[in-house]
Amino acid sequence: MFNHKIYIKLLALIFAFVLIFSSACFAGDSIYVWSTETKPINDTVETNANTTETQETATTNNLNLDCGSAILIEQHSGQVLYEQNMHEKLRPASVTKIMSILLIMEAIDSGRLSYTDKVPCTENAASMGGSQIWLDVREELTVDEMLKAICIVSANDCTVAMAEYLAGSQESFVEQMNAKAKELGMSDTTFKNCHGIDEDGHVTSAYDIALMSRELLNNHPDITKYTTVYMDSLRDGKSSLVNTNKLIRNYKGATGLKTGSTSVALYNLSSSATRDDLSLIAVIMKAPTSAIRFSNAQKLLDYGFNNFQYKKLASKGDTLKSVSVNKGIETTVNGILENDSGVLIQKGQDKNIQQVMELPESLQAPITQGQTIGSITYTLDGKEIGKVNIVAEKTIEKNSAFNMLESIYSKWFSLLRT
């Protein structure tokens, strides 16, 4: 038995040197190009949208919107699909609260604030007019309850209470609002308060409202747990809440977002909806009536859904091809997609999308997990609309006589034991 084991080890050693020598003689590094004109493109979860350069933004009032300004954007890319006076500075009314909600959600998602934290009501918060739930200075509501009241019925008293709780005073909170607006590129905006009650110099634009709406929905999607609720209640059912955004009830795919109106600002709305992976944000400002703001927003959303589609191009982690590995402890490695990718296109253009993959036929070890080993490029009518790196799924170490012998001996020893 002892001589038999020595004989097996000697055979394994000879076999290892033969393999090493042969691999050194046949290494290659040619590039493989794969054109998939007829291969269907993977179409799954969407993120990180890219946009084509073939779209022309509709800038005339061909939808016959009856409002001071309007805009329609695709939520993920931010591409403007329709606009009317989108940079005109107007009073936002309670649409202001989108920024207040954004700062609240940032505090929650960063861990500085919890949904279960109890928020007191100050005299200042209790004295707010307009939309409110009549907070009492003797009561406390959780952050969850405050968000319900702010998002569903646009409660001014809850908005001020949250601002004071987070920043110490409404004034300090407003400073944070303006700082965030500057960070987002909202150059048409100046906030004077956190609630939107008319105040000289408190202005924004349809474009800027779309920017902060997009930031809220993209980076804090949990907010839709509040903005999609049509009816709810507080105080053990004693206080009923009915959403001021009527599209939540009657528009398919509606995800929010916020209404606003005063006698000076007239009727404003930031509305959002998602259908078939296409997410849109429509903003209406200075509509003459509440009904017109909703009908105008619906026209914008319908225009977007009827004329555009979101096409998924790539899904992060998908395996594209197994590539042979020379001089590695393993002979192949999977090439996977590094990121997600998608594109906003006009309806019907998806059949013209082509993809070309560039990937070596073989690779030389060592290879590191996540190392770029190729790419896949997507084109529409000859124009590049997306490109995603192909990376190695795992690390492949370089082979040596020692680890090859060790591997072979281990396999032989396992066979002998069985």
Q: How far apart are CA 317 and CA 369, in angstroms?
A: 12
Of all residues in the chain, the percent with pLDDT exceeding 70 is 81
Sheet of 341-346, strands arranged across: 49-51, 341-346, 308-314
Instruction: Report the pLDDT value the prediction gives residue 62, as an integer from 0 to 100.
Output: 87
What does the radius of gyration of the chain's CA atoms come to, in whole angstroms?
30
Instruction: Indicate the residue among 309, 324, 358 that finishes a domain.
Output: 309
Cite the DSSP H helix spans in 202-267.
Answer: 206-219, 224-227, 247-250
> Is 281's pLDDT higher than 90?
yes
Same domain, 273 and 395: no
Q: What is the dihedral of CA 173, 178, 179, 183, to 10 degrees?
A: 140
Query: Which CATH number do you get for residue 93?
Result: 3.40.710.10
Query: Is residue 12 in some structural domain?
Result: no
Same domain, 266 and 324: no
Instruction: Report the pLDDT value the prediction gives residue 45, as an integer from 0 to 100.
Output: 29
The active-site residue, picked from 69, 100, 131, 154, is 154
> 203 pLDDT band (50/70/90 cuts)?
very high
Same domain, 384 and 367: yes
**Do the Cβ atoms of 394 and 323 come closer than 8 Å?**
no
Give catalytic status of residue 118 as yes or no: no
Same domain, 282 and 329: no
The active-site residue, picked from 69, 77, 94, 205, is 94
Instruction: Report the pLDDT value the prediction gives residue 129, as an integer from 0 to 100.
Output: 85
Give catalytic status of residue 97 as yes or no: yes
Same domain, 329 and 296: no
Mapping DSSP onto H, E and C, the string for 232-249 reads: EEECCCCEEEECCCCHHH
What is the token pair recorded at 217?
């929905």
Instruction: Report the pLDDT value the prediction gives residue 235, as an integer from 0 to 100.
Output: 92
- Number of helical H runs and strand E runs in the chain: 11, 19
Same domain, 261 and 360: no
pTM: 0.77
Domain housing 68: 58-309
**Do the Cβ atoms of 256 and 228 come closer than 8 Å?**
yes
Instruction: Report the pLDDT value the prediction gives residue 37, as an integer from 0 to 100.
Output: 28
Sign of the Cα pseudo-torsion (248, 250, 251, 252, in order): positive
Same domain, 301 and 319: no
Query: Which CATH number do you get for residue 386?
Result: 2.60.410.10
> Is 326's pLDDT higher than 70?
yes
| Interval 138-147: pLDDT, tens | 999 999 999 9
Same domain, 329 and 217: no
Instruction: Indicate the residue among 261, 280, 309 that finishes a domain.
Output: 309
- Based on the structure, what is the number of domains in the chain? 2
Query: Is residue 146 in some structural domain?
Result: yes
Q: How far apart are CA 23 and CA 26, in angstroms?
A: 5
Give catalytic status of residue 387 as yes or no: no
Q: How far apart are CA 263 and CA 10, in angstroms?
A: 94
Cite the DSSP H helix spans in 154-282.
Answer: 156-167, 170-183, 206-219, 224-227, 247-250
Same domain, 41 and 95: no
